[in-house]
Structure 1
Amino acid sequence: MTLFAPDLYRNFALGFAAGGLLVAAATVDQWGSRLESPAIAAQPLEAPQPADEFVIVPLEAEAAENAG
């Protein structure tokens, strides 16, 4: 048999078809009307907020310089 003989392609085609049938027969019990279950999003995480005692308040002099 030569490398590019027609029977080589025929054997590949028969092997592909036979493999497809085997995969289909092995997964027939998993076939159903729905492809996947619906996706459910996770709840968003809430970042902790700093307490008022940790917030830096600008000095009045700095606020006046920045304003004018």
Structure 2
Amino acid sequence: MRLFSPDLYRNFAIGFAVGALALGVANAGTGPEAQPEPIETSAVAAPIAADFRITPLEVA
């Protein structure tokens, strides 16, 4: 039995076609649930508290 026989290429082609078809079916959709969700607004950081301090780390 040869390693790179024509059956190997045929099986890769069939697997690729079946996988592409499965992805297409999984991603296909109709109706409102198929529409992408709107992009949220950008994040806004909270104001820094007046007593916020970064203290040095005590290394022994």
TM-score of the aligned structures, taking structure 1 as reference length = 0.52
Q: Which structure is higher in helix share?
A: 1
- Percent of matched pairs sharing the same residue: 40
Question: Of the two structures, which has the highest relative contact order with CA contacts closer than 8 Å and spacing of 6 or more?
Answer: 2
Larger radius of gyration: 1
In the comparison of the two structures, how many residue pairs are matched? 48
| Structure 2: gaps of 5 or more residues | 52-60
Runs of 4+ in 1 over 4 A off after TM superposition: none
Output the amino acid matched with 2:41: I
Q: Distance in 2 between matches of 1:22 and 1:40?
A: 34
RMSD: 2.3
TM-score of the aligned structures, taking structure 2 as reference length = 0.57
